A and B are shown apart, each in its own frame.
Chain A
Amino acid sequence: MPELLAPIAGNVWKILVAVGDKVELDDELVILEALKMETPIYCDDAGTVTEIKVKEGDAVNEDDVLIVID
């Protein structure tokens, strides 16, 4: 099951999808905030969001799982 990982450490600023949403390659799924800058994280695989592991405001480390896609 593909997972979307955090490419950099930061805080979860916005989650742009919900469980059950269909997503395409290159869709913007999450916006992380690091050093006061918003960094959009793009989808690597097409599929359906099955689980969102974080909520807005969470601090995440590099390589933490953000979203699971089926």
Chain B
Amino acid sequence: MFDILKELIFSSGAVSLTGGNLVMWLVSFVLLYLAIKKQYEPLLLLPIAFGILIVNLPLTFLMEPEHGLIWFFYHYGIEMDIIPPLIFLGLGAMIDFGPLIANPKTMLLGAGAQAGLYVTFFAAVLFGFDLQEAGSIAIIGGADGPTTIYLTSKLAPHLLGATAVSAYAYMALVPIIQPPMMKLLTSEHERKIVMTKLRPVSRLQKICFPIVTGMTIMLVVPPAAPLISMLMLGNLFKESGVVERLTNASANELMNIVTIFLGLSIGATMTATTFLNPKVLFIFFLGLFAFVISTAAGLLMAKFMNLFLKNKINPLIGAAGVSAVPMAARCVHKVGSEANRRNYLLMHAMGPNVAGVIGTVVAAAILLKNLG
């Protein structure tokens, strides 16, 4: 009887618990709190937090290669790069390129805001990360979750949990991180600028955009193809207006389904041994640095463009060049309306915002081409 009890205790996970596991439980509980109570990106944070919790229960072997349940999700979904492009399919089916088509010069803002990526890349190399790791960290500046995951899983899979969580964290923290930067780099007078109305965009233009832009980008930077092709296909579904069921399936059901597997798998990469490492804390710091530089670069780019433009743009929309859609555009709108309550920048900010998504993918493809 005593032997059976002893056997039960020693085969239980509890005796194999490490201090690291307990710390990771704490991380998981904090993230659960942020997701449930504060509603910070709960759709992602909740499965991520739960993933962290269950892989830090010893002897469950959920991430055991070839055996564990979540390992299969991770292997087929992320290691084989299936989920991030599917998320982009749904994103394409949701976003409206209209403001970008109406005001194509905002593409420059989406490109300008990627400067933070390159600055951070060199900073990370200086701090002793290898080139592949540095690329994965730099892409956090784009504040685009799926692209960050896509790139990290190819370049530095051991950093996946840290880069993914920081990309999503900074997306959620846009309303806290961006406004001080915006106020610092623009004058009250500039924030008050009311922009001229966007011209109407025809259906034909909206249909041609994903086809022409998609082809151009894939011809110039072929490694961008998996993400860009899916993004443009989703957008073509939406703009064609003839496949509403496919549009809805991409934007809702499919997106929700893959989000579950994405979140759980990302969380499950964060075992105590991989995550509790001084490097990881540093990744959060460098990621924040990347995001701040990207925001500043977008703002300065907009101010620079104003030197040449007759119809001035409101430089705040430059901050939306990071690709956190639509958080960054919302944030621009809010700061703009604080300066001038009749300033409705939302749609103007969506132009650089969707351009930022494209810009981040192109930047990731360039990093992949040179480092992969």
Spell out A's residues near B (CB within 8 Å). 7-9, 26, 34-37, 39-40, 42, 62
Query: Judging by beta carbons under 8 Å apart, are B341 and A34 in contact?
Result: no
Query: Judging by beta carbons under 8 Å apart, are B346 and A37 in contact?
Result: yes
Among the 9-residue stretches B105-113, B249-257, B329-337, the one with 4 or more Cβ atoms under 8 Å from chain A is B329-337
Chain B 172-195 interface mask (CB, 8 Å, partner A; 1/0)? 000000000000000000000000
Q: How far is the CA of A35 from the CA of B345 in the complex (A)?
A: 12
**Closest partner residue, chain B, to A7 (CB atom):** B344
Complex partner residue of A35 from B329, B341, B342, CB under 8 angstroms: B329
Contacts of B330 on A, CB cut-off 8 Å?
35-37
B304-330 contacts to A, CB under 8 A, are: 326, 329-330
Query: Judging by beta carbons under 8 Å apart, are A42 and B346 in contact?
Result: no
Contacts of A36 on B, CB cut-off 8 Å?
326, 330
Spell out B's residues near A (CB within 8 Å). 197, 326, 329-330, 333-334, 337, 341-342, 344, 346-347
Query: Judging by beta carbons under 8 Å apart, are A42 and B342 in contact?
Result: yes
Complex partner residue of A39 from B326, B329, B337, CB under 8 angstroms: B337
Distance (whole angstroms) from the CB of A60 to the closest CB of chain B: 13
Q: List 17 A-B contacts (CB under 8 A).
A: A7-B342, A7-B344, A8-B346, A8-B347, A9-B347, A26-B341, A35-B326, A35-B346, A36-B330, A37-B333, A37-B334, A37-B346, A39-B337, A39-B344, A39-B346, A42-B341, A62-B347
Contacts of B329 on A, CB cut-off 8 Å?
35
Most chain A C-beta atoms within 10 Å of own C-beta, residue among B197, B337, B347: B347
Most chain A C-beta atoms within 10 Å of own C-beta, residue among B329, B330, B334, B344: B344
Q: How far is the CA of A37 from the CA of B329 in the complex (A)?
A: 11
Q: A39-B333, A39-B337 are in contact. Are A34 and B342 (CB under 8 A)?
A: no
Contacts of B326 on A, CB cut-off 8 Å?
35-36
Q: How far is the CA of A68 from the CA of B342 in the complex (A)?
A: 18
Most chain B C-beta atoms within 10 Å of own C-beta, residue among A7, A26, A40: A7
Distance (whole angstroms) from the CB of A55 to the closest CB of chain B: 22
**Given A36-B326, A36-B330, 20 more contacts at CB 8 Å?**
A7-B342, A7-B344, A8-B344, A8-B346, A8-B347, A26-B341, A34-B346, A35-B329, A35-B330, A35-B346, A37-B330, A37-B333, A37-B346, A39-B337, A39-B344, A39-B346, A40-B341, A42-B341, A42-B342, A62-B347
